[in-house]
Structure 1
């Protein structure tokens, strides 16, 4: 999404950055509730359930306000936090990716989006931001300054948000018969790494799905969604017919949706009891 999670693989799965967990929390419990702000103490409680300490939560809230992702609202002595329009767009994009597009691309029409860019050497941050957004949107580096994604991607919107329109060229095209699409895919994307993420996710959550919600459904749902977003963030949704047999995205997605269906309702009930909120003003 907007931010690239720095993660560390451990035997217990990916360790998410607090900002990624914070966005998942707001996506789970605020995005669909309208104009709503959440008390900081409630946020500290929920993120503490997945191992994020109070100081880390407070510093993350401050950084996200400074980045324009959250807004503060004081109610008496208490501070509440709500989504900004920028964060709302990020979360809606993630929701579309999870629930509408899915992880498996069975209906690819043969189209590709090509994006070429040339940025000054000193623009390291802009280059990092562009590559991060392109990766989330399904692009891979065909060559150093030429990126490609399956389907017709609204790359112009990405480039415009980053203020890089003057430095980017975008094309929509189809591959010539002389192009070996499966070879191009293997050369452009790290399929083994993408597949490994799905396999890891599937194994972890298949083992837990019998009692997924447990005594802490709100924490379980937060871990589930943040880990799924970490799993899919480098997957460009490549055409299924050009991927290796038994591609693991499909069973992993089925596991994710089963656990989500089992956990979402108790998590929402718990959120209504636990979270202290106030209408945005």
Structure 2
């Protein structure tokens, strides 16, 4: 199987676990993971290292069964995966129902707080915000950032407001100045070019359907998590998100029967035991 586009092993791992483990109270054998990941070009050592790092970061739990080691989700990773599931299947890539509300976040940090400033900006970007001005960021809709700000320890330095634009504001121009629309559009268009052929194709090896679907889902999640879901009526004509979403759903639907059959053959799963962390 050959599909373009580099993905971090941890991103693939989370997608794989969300697909096969989330909500099922099971753990998956490390050898099964190694087999699936080898089919997307990730070697055994890189897969084992990813599993170990994710255990160390509290994203995975180990469970030994005889001589085999199995891996399952923690509360932290399950929360991350539920958010990804919501973004893929419920929120979607196109914001057609925006009510005109914006969330404004202003911050003022000491000059010496370079790390804190970098962390805040990174998390705001991940949450759909863009820099309206230096120290003032904006996102469409009502975005709850209270936990994000508290986690970074910046509650005393951040102020959050809900607002509507004045009637004379050129929202389309503001969006174009605040977000890198051309870059985001390129990502959607590249996804369509890469995956549209699979709307009418099946892999030659039926077992490749599982890693192929895994890769499509991980790539799609990476794109939509980087999309602030700006109101579609203020985006350029021919905005490619809807076309890309159609491609993703069509490919996912086509591959799913084969992928589920492959999972039955390739994956060794055991029930979660409460006596192991």
TM > 0.5 between the two?
yes
- Contact in 2 for aligned 1:73/1:81 (Cα 8 Å): yes
Q: For 2:23, what is the secondary structure of its paired residue?
A: helix
Give the Å deviation of 1:122: 5.3
Q: Could you give the per-residue CA deviations for residues 67-101 of structure 1, whole angstroms, max 9, x where no partner exists?
A: 11111111222211111111111111111111101
Instruction: Work out whether 1:183 is the aligned partner of 2:162.
Output: no
| Alignment equivalent of 1:278, drawn from 252, 260, 270 | 270
Please list the CA deviations of residues 55-78 of structure 1 after superposition, one character each: whole Å capped at 9, or x if unmatched. 111111111111111111112222
**Greater mean deviation of Cα atoms: 72-81 or 234-243:** 72-81
Does residue 208 of the first structure (1) align with residue 198 of the second (2)? Answer: yes
CA contact (8 A) 1:61 1:70 kept: yes
Q: Distance in 2 between matches of 1:22 and 1:50?
A: 12
Ranges in structure 1 where 5+ consecutive residues have no aligned partner? 1-10
Name the structure 1 match of 2:188. Answer: 198
Partner of 2:157: 167
| 8 Å contact from structure 1 (residues 116, 145) kept in 2 | yes
Q: CA deviation at 1:48?
A: 1.1
For residues 204 and 146 of structure 2, the distance between their equivalents in structure 1, rounded to whole angstroms, comes to: 44
**Shift in alpha-carbon separation, 1:84–1:123, aligned structure 2, 3 A:** farther
CA RMSD of aligned residues (A): 1.9
Structure with bigger gyration radius: 2
Q: How many angstroms does 1:133 deviate by?
A: 2.9
Q: 1:190, CA displacement in angstroms?
A: 0.5
Which of 9, 16, 22 is the equivalent residue of 1:18?
9
Alignment size in residue pairs:
270
The Cα offsets for residues 91-113 of structure 1, whole Å up to 9 and x where unpaired, read as 11111111101100010000011
Q: Per-residue displacement from partner, 1:198-252 (whole Å, max 9, x unpaired)?
A: 1110111112221145421101111100111122222111000000011000011
Per the alignment, residue 42 of structure 1 pairs with 32
Q: Which residue of 2 aligns with 1:266?
A: 258
Sort the Cα spacing of 1:179 and 1:201 in 2 relative to 1 into closer, same or farther, 3 A: same
Q: 1:124 to 1:18 in 2, by over 3 A?
A: farther
- One of 44, 53, 65 as aligned partner of 2:43: 53
Shift of 1:196: 0.5
Q: Aligned partners of 1:171 and 1:103: how far apart in 2?
A: 25
Residue 52 of structure 2 corresponds to residue 62 of structure 1: yes
Residue 142 of structure 2 is matched in structure 1 by: 152
Structure-1 separation of matches of 2:271 and 2:153: 33
What corresponds to 1:257 in structure 2? 249
Q: How does 1:130-149 map to 2 (within 5 A)?
A: 130-149=120-139
- Could you tell me the TM-score, scaled by structure 2's length? 0.91
The DSSP-based 3-state class of the residue aligned with 1:149 is strand
Task: Note if contact 1:212-1:259 (Cα within 8 Å) is conserved in structure 2.
Answer: no
